[in-house]
């Protein structure tokens, strides 16, 4: 009987240990499963947040573009076709963000240069053609140099009448001048008059002609004021 009692006790211990092991194994499985679920949920939350941030950024961009388009339409007195209007807004917005500009500064330069006419041919005040073309009034040799530096395909003068080529080249050239002179004012003047003219004037301590710069600022502040009014109205 004693031997049977010992055997039964050992059996109970084995059963108890087995039960404990199985319980621990079961708990381990639950812990692993919960950990996997938490990780999966975290990935889902991260993905959802990323999508939401992307969606929010897209909404902000579309809202901003809409306000820029409304401002430009009012500024141009509704004379721009929808195609020209939205082409300008998309290209100016994109390139302004790329180079770190206020879109309205680029629009102000375009306004002074070409009055938003994609096929504009530049003229001096005496009526002679200047040899500059398109929205940002670039000369073929200037455009070729900038295109080569940026790796932008450029096939000659006819490309300057294409906004998708003219605007990136124009904004890049403006950036070059501002960087060279380390001055927004001098950079804008160099864009119009050529860096050689500005360097010559500075070297010889000659007064600079700032008529062009003032015209750009006038257009810029007018665009900014109209944008502020529209923004307040829509809010």
Domains and CATH numbers, the chain: 64-234 (1.10.530.10)
pTM attached to this predicted model: 0.76
- Mean pLDDT, all residues of the chain: 85
Residue 51 has pLDDT above 80, yes or no: no
Residue 188 has pLDDT above 80, yes or no: yes
Residue 105 has a CB neighbour count (10 Å cut-off) of 21
CA separation, residue 23 to residues 10, 37, 75, 106 (Å): 19, 21, 76, 71
Residue 180 has pLDDT above 90, yes or no: yes
Residue 138 has pLDDT above 70, yes or no: yes
Residue 161 has pLDDT above 90, yes or no: yes
């Amino acid at each position: 009987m004693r031997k049977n009692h010992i055997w039964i006790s050992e059996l109970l211990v084995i059963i108890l240990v087995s039960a404990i092991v199985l319980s621990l194994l079961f708990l381990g499985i639950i812990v692993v499963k919960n950990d996997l679920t938490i990780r999966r949920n975290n990935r889902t939350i991260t993905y959802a947040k990323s999508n939401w941030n992307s969606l929010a950024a897209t909404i902000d961009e579309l809202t901003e573009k809409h306000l820029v388009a409304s401002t430009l339409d009012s500024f141009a007195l509704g004379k721009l076709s929808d195609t020209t209007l939205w082409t300008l807004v998309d290209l100016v917005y994109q390139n302004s963000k790329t180079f770190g500009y206020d879109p309205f500064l680029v629009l102000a330069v375009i306004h002074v240069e070409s009055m938003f006419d994609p096929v504009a041919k530049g003229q001096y005040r005496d009526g002679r053609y200047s040899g500059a073309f398109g929205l940002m009034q670039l000369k073929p040799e200037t455009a070729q140099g900038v295109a080569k530096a940026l790796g932008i395909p450029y096939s000659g003068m006819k490309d300057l009448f294409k906004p998708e080529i003219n605007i990136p080249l124009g904004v890049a050239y403006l950036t070059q001048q501002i960087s060279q002179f380390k001055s927004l004012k001098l950079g804008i003047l160099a864009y119009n008059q050529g860096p050689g003219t500005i360097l010559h004037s500075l070297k010889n301590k000659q007064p600079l002609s700032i008529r062009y710069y003032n015209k750009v600022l006038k257009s810029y502040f007018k665009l900014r004021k109209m944008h502020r009014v529209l923004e307040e109205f829509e809010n």
